[in-house]
Amino acid sequence: MDLAAAFAACPRARFLPPDQQPYAGLDRALPLGYDVTCSQPTTVRRMLELLGPRPGDRVLDVGCGSGWTTALLAHLVGPAGRVVGVEIIPEVLAAGTRHLAGLTGLTGLARVELHLTAPGAPLGWPAGAPYDRILVAADAPVLAPDLVAQLVLGGVLVGPVRGEMLRVERHGRYVFVPLRTLDP
Residues with active-site annotation? 39
Among candidate residues 120, 154, 122, 124, the one with its CA nearest the CA of residue 136? 124
- In DSSP notation, 112-151 reads EEEEEPPTTPPSS-GGG--EEEEEE-S-BSS--HHHHTTE
Among candidate residues 151, 144, 115, 110, the one with its CA nearest the CA of residue 130? 151
Among candidate residues 52, 62, 107, the one with its CA nearest the CA of residue 83? 62
At position 128, the amino acid (one-letter code) is G
Q: Determine the Cα–Cα distance for residues 5 and 106; give it in Å rounded to an integer.
A: 13
Q: Report which DSSP code applies to 26.
A: S
Q: Determine the Cα–Cα distance for residues 110 and 167; give it in Å rounded to an integer.
A: 23
Using CA atoms of 64, 150, 83, 45 in order, give the dihedral in degrees to the nearest 10. 60
